[in-house]
Amino acid sequence: MCFKRKCFIIVCGVSIFILNLFGGLYDEWQYRLKIRFSAPIPGVLTNIPILVIFNTNSISGFKYTDFYYPATGADLRFADSNETTALNFEFQKWDTNGSSYIWVNVPFIRSTNDFIYAYWHKSGVTAPPCTTNGATWTNGFKGLWHLDESSGNAIDSTSNKCNGTVTVSARGVTGRILTGYQFNGNDNKVYLNMTLGTTVTIATWASKASGAQMLWVVHGDNPGPDLWFPGNGVIYLNTWDAYNNPFCSEPANVDQLHYYVTVIDAARNIAELYIDGRRTGTANYKNPSGSPFYISKNGADYDWAGIIDEFSISSISRASNWVYACYLNQASNSYFCNYGAVMLQSMPVIENQMPTNITTTSAWLNGYLSSTGNSPCTVSVYWGDTDGGAPTSGLWKATNTWAAGTWGVGSYPTFHATGLTPNNFYFYRYYATNSAGHGWAQSTMSFLAGNVSVSVSDNTATESVSGSDKAVFTIQRNTSATNYPLTVNYSFGGSAVYGVDYTVNPAGTSVTIAAGMASTNIVITALWDIYTNESTETVWLSLQPCGYGIGSPTGNVISIVNAAEQPYASWQYRTKITYIAPINESMSDFTALVMLGTNIPGFAYTQFVSHVDGADLRFTAQDKLTPLNYQIEKWNTNGTSLVWVRIPTLSVGKCIYAYWGKAGVSAPPCTTNGATWSSTHRAVWHLNETSGTSYYDSTTNKNTGSKGGGTTPSTGGAVNGAQTFDGSGDYVDCARTGKRHHRRHQEWRR
């Protein structure tokens, strides 16, 4: 006989619950395990593969001998929280003597209350097709390589089956998840016959050994792009353009395994690098389309040295919350996944659910009967203003019991508790029993018969290079309701982007007001971003239902504003100039040459308001606060302009910023008064004069030199123009430049 699955919606007061007349997909399986995703992740994740790890030591009641087919795990299944949808999964490793690693495609994760179920012990079944056909890896995956093979090809777990040809020094080395490949920097690589599009996300775990260069590369020996670690402490998105497209600095312990995720997004015209779940830098977009693709690099130069594990390529741009979730799930599985206790399905399984419609005098106490076991069950809810523990304790103040059969599989028992004392804490726990045994909800649920609200004590956070300016949300409850801790849930919204425009402390979307305290703070810290002239952005915090009532206001807003102290915030354009040449020591008060032109992506002289002479050009130090003195040696709107900038501290990885695009300003005095050159410069002659007999000193000393002999102008100088000396009486009279001792002379000559 075949039954169609039916459900009825029953409305009781203001509570809605569903009665499933027939059980879940896997009611005939003997054991069940609830796996909740307990790590707070902003936003919603859909169809994301999540790593689940089974181990007898870490999951209460778990035993491989409880599987009907323990040698293979063929009777393992997964379902969503409603137990109505089977979930695709893949075995990475099944080990009855240790830990088993299974990837499960989870339909959505919206909060720390979302969960799935695992089931086992059922005869006459085989492993489903999803365990081998790649169905676990959907939603944009082009390829996923675990890199744990002991021989042969690197197997692609997706349905594309783009297996890689392997040349590595060692396999089976300890990786992030099980084992990975060891690359030795001498033509070690994995060749993938894969064609990429204009948008990709490339993710992997990797450690860097001495001599490592390119972690991956498109096109092999052609100009990339590639993710390049050239050894100067900086990571680049490289297209054979030297050091022109940096992402960020390497991690301090780059020799350890880190999770590197590169997002190259054609629609947004940007490249992003995430390290260990956090966006650490951006770079100019480089088109990754083409083939083939190499993990490491083809050839004996510039390839990778170190360990690589869990490599994936996606044809879409992964969002920051996806990257963060993948990192947490793989780096700290026990934090991301909360494994409940294994339950026998012959006995009833009941859980507490969050109370709803809480007021100061009433609340609906909710449960969830996920299984009645093998016979109808009686359901009870025990409640009161103290936690009574077990049903036989006699400590519960009140009980409500429903006769056997009142509630079916998948139903939500609910009881309207009234007559509550305002601003008191209350507790409840559901209990179910049938002919096979009984089951308690795993823990007591508590709630406050009172309201919480959110206020703002400082409603503006200004972008600051130090990251020190903060705004504060305050979550508060009644001062008479402080005898227990209270966890409050909330969500964020607004136009500001988490991780780009601001950070949150504490991180996540819940906070606990400690016992004895009436309030707690959520601190929003503004971050610098790449925009100088953007409008004010907002961060909304909205309270979400939990074990309390929601008072007024139910949410509040703070503003993220551009730094008022930034001297050039109103300039329209900005570029970052990073010093990447290997300098062995830090130099102070150094005047460096900056070249402006088409070597800068997106640069155009027409962007200057004073494009004829560059009068609206400005520079700041790395802090974006300190204006820097500069001198324009040559302004060339048809080519490259040469500008000397006085930098407070210069070392590898340090940067300065150039700004332009501002009306109503004139060139600052430093461009002509010599302030670009420190007092240790007695004189600086560019020698680029094309006529006359004077050679002008750019310092404040103004030691003008005089032409002697027959020197002639030349266009063959190292920097702009020069003078030609014929070796027969040609010289420049430099006048007196000060004391003669402790003097250093520098020049370019040929």
pLDDT digits (tens, 9 = 90+) for 30-48: 899 999 999 989 899 999 9
**What is the distance between the alpha carbons of residues 624 and 609, in angstroms, rounded to a whole number?**
21
Q: pLDDT-based confidence at 708, cuts 50/70/90? A: confident
Instruction: Name 749's Cβ contacts closer than 8 Å, sequence gap at least 6.
Output: none
Q: Is 695 exposed, middle or buried (0-12, 13-18, 19+ CB in 10 A)?
A: buried
Check whether 359 has a pLDDT greater than 70.
yes
Instruction: Name 747's Cβ contacts closer than 8 Å, sequence gap at least 6.
Output: none
Q: Is 225 exposed, middle or buried (0-12, 13-18, 19+ CB in 10 A)?
A: buried
DSSP structure class, residue 188 = -
**What is the distance between the alpha carbons of residues 376 and 179, in angstroms, rounded to a whole number?**
48
Query: CA neighbours within 13 Å on the CB side: how many for 156?
Result: 20
Average pLDDT over residues 531-543: 83
Check if the beta carbon of residue 553 is closer than 8 Å to that of residue 491: no
Query: CA neighbours within 13 Å on the CB side: how many for 543?
Result: 24
**What is the distance between the alpha carbons of residues 300 and 171, in angstroms, rounded to a whole number?**
19
Instruction: Name 14's Cβ contacts closer than 8 Å, sequence gap at least 6.
Output: 356, 357, 364
**pLDDT of 655:** 85
Check whether 571 has a pLDDT greater than 70.
yes
Nearest to 642 by CA among 675, 603, 607, 593: 593
What is the per-residue pLDDT across 168-185, written as a single tens digit (0 to 9) for each? 999 999 999 999 999 999
Instruction: Name 443's Cβ contacts closer than 8 Å, sequence gap at least 6.
Output: 352, 429
**What is the distance between the alpha carbons of residues 173 and 726, in angstroms, rounded to a whole number?**
67
Nearest to 83 by CA among 16, 12, 29: 29
Q: Which residues, in sequence order, are bridge partners of residue 181?
A: 171, 308
The answer to which of 152-156, 491-495, 536-540, 677-681 has the lowest mean pLDDT is: 677-681
Listing from the earlier edge strand, what are the strands of the sheet with 694-695?
694-695, 705-708, 731-733
Number of DSSP helices (H) and strands (E) in the chain, helices first: 3, 54
Q: Residue 484, Cα to own-chain centre: how many angstroms?
A: 34
Tokens 């609906």 correspond to what residue? 364
- Taken in order 108, 109, 115, 116, the sign of the CA dihedral is positive
Amino acid letter, 98: G
**What is the distance between the alpha carbons of residues 9 and 21, in angstroms, rounded to a whole number?**
11
Which two three-digit tokens encode residue 482? 């402080």
Whether the upstream peptide bond of residue 601 has omega within 30° of 0, thus cis, is no
Tokens 């779940």 correspond to what residue? 277
**pLDDT of 22:** 45
What is the per-residue pLDDT across 293-340, written as a single tens digit (0 to 9) for each? 999 988 768 899 999 999 999 999 999 999 999 999 999 999 999 999
Query: Residue 654: which region, alpha, beta or left (left: phi > 0; alpha: psi -120 to 50)?
Result: beta
Strand (E) or helix (H) holding 115: strand 115-120
Q: Which residues, in sequence order, are bridge partners of residue 117?
A: 34, 79
What's the CATH fold of domain 141-315?
Jelly Rolls (2.60.120)
CATH pick for 573-671 out of 1.20.120, 2.60.40, 2.60.200, 3.40.1560:
2.60.40
Q: pLDDT-based confidence at 236, cuts 50/70/90? A: very high
Average pLDDT over residues 442-450: 92
**pLDDT of 8:** 34
Does residue 717 or residue 504 have the better pLDDT?
504
- Taken in order 572, 530, 200, 293, the sign of the CA dihedral is positive
What is the per-residue pLDDT across 608-654, written as a single tens digit (0 to 9) for each? 999 899 999 999 988 778 899 999 999 999 989 999 999 988 887 78
Query: CA neighbours within 13 Å on the CB side: how many for 742?
Result: 3
**What is the distance between the alpha carbons of residues 661 and 668, in angstroms, rounded to a whole number?**
15
Rg of the Cα trace of the chain? 34
**pLDDT of 374:** 78
Q: Which residues, in sequence order, are bridge partners of residue 312?
A: 144, 203
**pLDDT of 741:** 46
Check if the beta carbon of residue 449 is closer than 8 Å to that of residue 363: yes
Query: What is the pTM assigned to this prediction?
Result: 0.59
Instruction: Name 293's Cβ contacts closer than 8 Å, sequence gap at least 6.
Output: 192, 194, 196, 216, 217, 218, 313
Average pLDDT over residues 256-283: 96
Check if the beta carbon of residue 633 is closer than 8 Å to that of residue 588: no
For the chain, give the percent of residues with pLDDT over 70. Answer: 91
The answer to which of 342-351, 518-527, 713-722 has the lowest mean pLDDT is: 713-722
**pLDDT of 444:** 92
Which two three-digit tokens encode residue 702? 């103004």
Instruction: Name 94's Cβ contacts closer than 8 Å, sequence gap at least 6.
Output: 72, 73, 100
Check if the beta carbon of residue 534 is closer than 8 Å to that of residue 528: no
Q: pLDDT-based confidence at 6, cuts 50/70/90? A: very low
**What is the distance between the alpha carbons of residues 514 and 735, in angstroms, rounded to a whole number?**
76
133-137, 340-344, 699-703 — which one is most confidently predicted on average? 133-137
Q: pLDDT-based confidence at 7, cuts 50/70/90? A: very low
Average pLDDT over residues 560-565: 69
Q: Which residues, in sequence order, are bridge partners of residue 550?
A: 452
Does residue 579 or residue 142 have the better pLDDT?
142
Check if the beta carbon of residue 369 is closer than 8 Å to that of residue 350: yes
**What is the distance between the alpha carbons of residues 311 and 473, in angstroms, rounded to a whole number?**
40
CATH class of 347-441: mainly beta
**pLDDT of 679:** 82
Q: Which three-class secondary structure string do you get for 461-493?
A: EECCCCCCCEEEEEEEECCCCCCCCEEEEEEEE
What is the per-residue pLDDT across 468-513, written as a single tens digit (0 to 9) for each? 688 999 999 999 999 999 999 999 999 988 887 888 999 888 999 9
Tokens 């006459």 correspond to what residue? 124
Check if the beta carbon of residue 116 is closer than 8 Å to that of residue 87: yes
SS3 30: coil
Q: Is 4 exposed, middle or buried (0-12, 13-18, 19+ CB in 10 A)?
A: exposed
**Residue-range domain boundaries for the chain:** 26-139, 141-315, 347-441, 451-561, 573-671
CA distances from 479 to 449, 450, 454, 515, 519 (A): 13, 11, 14, 11, 9
The answer to which of 15-19, 170-174, 563-567, 697-701 has the lowest mean pLDDT is: 15-19
Phi, psi of 142 (to 5 degrees): -90, -30
Helices (H), 298-393: 320-331, 333-336
**pLDDT of 738:** 53
What is the per-residue pLDDT across 415-433, written as a single tens digit (0 to 9) for each? 999 999 999 999 999 999 9
Amino acid letter, 724: T
What is the per-residue pLDDT across 658-699, written as a single tens digit (0 to 9) for each? 999 888 899 999 999 999 998 888 888 888 888 887 888 888
Tokens 């075949």 correspond to what residue? 2
Check whether 736 has a pLDDT greater than 70.
no
**pLDDT of 104:** 99
Q: Residue 345, Cα to own-chain centre: how many angstroms?
A: 39
> DSSP readout, 589-636?
EEEEEEEESTTSTT--GGGSTTTTTTTT-EEE-TTS-SB--EEEEE--
**What is the distance between the alpha carbons of residues 494 and 442, in angstroms, rounded to a whole number?**
37
Helices (H), 148-232: none
**pLDDT of 11:** 36
Domains 451-561 and 573-671 share a fold: yes
What's the CATH fold of domain 451-561?
Immunoglobulin-like (2.60.40)
- Helix, strand, coil percentages (3-state) for the chain, rounded to 5, are 5, 45, 55
Over the chain, what is the mean pLDDT? 88
**What is the distance between the alpha carbons of residues 541 and 532, in angstroms, rounded to a whole number?**
26
